[in-house]
């Protein structure tokens, strides 16, 4: 989490480009996204700027001050907060129509934290509200390549790869001990940001079960091109899957502790 709080990637995420699946999601779920929407880990406002075009109210949250400043600059109509998505207590119960978390923002969390965040998202969504997010696909993990090949970098850019090798080796040495493989998920130190972070990987069906365990029903799972990934499919050629989940069950009441 310390890596993200530094906000060093603000340039990397400062653009307005949408991936095909994000365009599909914004169009297909326009009605739910037209209400009160919270974007988690908004970054520099890449998706926030599109949410603002059609929503009654957009709230956005990011842990990095530089990201918050940039997001607020490009999206003056949004309310952008600096904060940790592991604490959603500033948002009232049932106060939102949709929560959006694209580009794998929930994958920065461990398994226990992820479950607790899903519970908090359920609390702040109205009954039938939507959670739309993406996550690294465990079905793709076998294609990530060996750490050695990844560390060597891109053979088409040998000088750039060589220059980054010491940093990559240092990050890999520091982060690899966090890797683990469990029945329902894996934590992997992939090549993103030169191995400086670990990510949560989960298969489509495990994600559906996890959502069910936290009071959500899966509406749809899509690959990066916006194609439906059906139950049982691995989508082994797709590194990231997007999920649309509906909050089910009764409304949550705020419990006031005296």
Q: Which residues bind ligand SAM (CB under 6 A)?
A: 1, 4, 13, 41-43, 46-47, 61-64, 67, 84-86, 102-105, 108
**Residue whose CB is less far from ligand SAM, 42 or 186:** 42
Q: Is 79 helix (H, G, I), strand (E, B) or coil?
A: strand
Could you tell me the two tokens for 66?
């530089």
For 70, the token pair is 């940039």
Of the pair 61, 125, the CB lying nearest ligand SAM is at 61
Q: Taking the complex as a whole, how short is the minimal distance between the CB of residue 15 and ligand SAM, in angstroms?
A: 8
Residue among 189 and 205 whose Cβ is closer to ligand SAM = 189
**DSSP label of 154:** -
Q: Are strands 96-101 and 125-137 parallel, antiparallel or unpaired?
A: parallel
- CB-wise, 135 or 210, nearer to ligand SAM? 135
Compare residues 4 and 91 and give the one whose CB is closer to ligand SAM: 4
Minimum gap (Å) between residue 60 Cβ and ligand SAM: 9
Least distance from ligand SAM to the Cβ atom of residue 127, Å:
26
Q: What's the min distance (Å) between Cβ of 122 and ligand SAM? A: 18
Tell me how far apart the alpha carbons of residues 200 and 189 are, in angstroms, rounded to a whole number: 9
Judged by beta carbon, residue 1 or residue 31, the one nearer ligand SAM is 1
The structure tokens 């400086």 sit at: 196
In the complex, the smallest distance separating the C-beta of residue 213 from ligand SAM, rounded to whole angstroms, is 21
Task: Centre a 10 Å sphere on the Cβ of residue 87 and count the other Cβ atoms it contains.
Answer: 12
Residue for token pair 């400062």 = 14
Q: How far is the CB of 84 from ligand SAM (least distance, A)?
A: 4
Buried b / exposed e over 13-50, threshold 16 CB at 10 Å, is: bbeeebbebbebbbebbeebbebbbbbbbbbbbbbbbb
Here the tokens at position 141 are 């993990």
């Amino acid at each position: 989490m310390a890596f993200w709080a530094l906000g060093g990637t603000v340039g990397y995420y400062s653009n307005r480009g949408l991936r095909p699946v994000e365009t599909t999601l914004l169009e297909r779920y326009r009605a739910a996204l037209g209400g009160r929407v919270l974007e988690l880990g908004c970054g520099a406002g890449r998706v926030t700027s599109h949410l603002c075009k059609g929503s009654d109210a957009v709230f956005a949250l990011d842990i990095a001050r530089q990201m918050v400043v940039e997001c607020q600059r490009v999206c003056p109509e949004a309310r952008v907060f600096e904060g940790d998505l592991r604490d959603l207590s500033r948002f009232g119960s049932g106060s939102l129509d949709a929560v959006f978390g694209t580009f794998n923002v929930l994958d920065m969390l461990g398994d226990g934290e992820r479950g607790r965040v899903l519970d908090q998202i359920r609390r702040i969504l109205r009954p039938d509200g939507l959670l739309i997010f993406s996550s690294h696909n465990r079905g793709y993990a076998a294609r990530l390549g060996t750490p050695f090949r990844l560390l060597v970098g891109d053979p088409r850019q040998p000088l750039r790869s060589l220059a980054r090798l010491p940093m990559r080796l240092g990050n890999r040495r520091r982060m690899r001990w966090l890797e683990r493989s469990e029945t329902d998920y894996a934590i992997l130190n992939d090549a993103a940001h030169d191995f400086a972070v670990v990510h949560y990987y989960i298969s489509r069906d495990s994600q559906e079960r996890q959502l069910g365990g936290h009071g959500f029903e899966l509406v749809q799972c899509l690959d990066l091109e916006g194609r439906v990934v059906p139950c049982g499919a691995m989508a082994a050629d797709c590194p990231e899957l997007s999920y649309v989940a509906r909050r089910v069950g009764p409304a949550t009441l705020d419990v006031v502790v005296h």
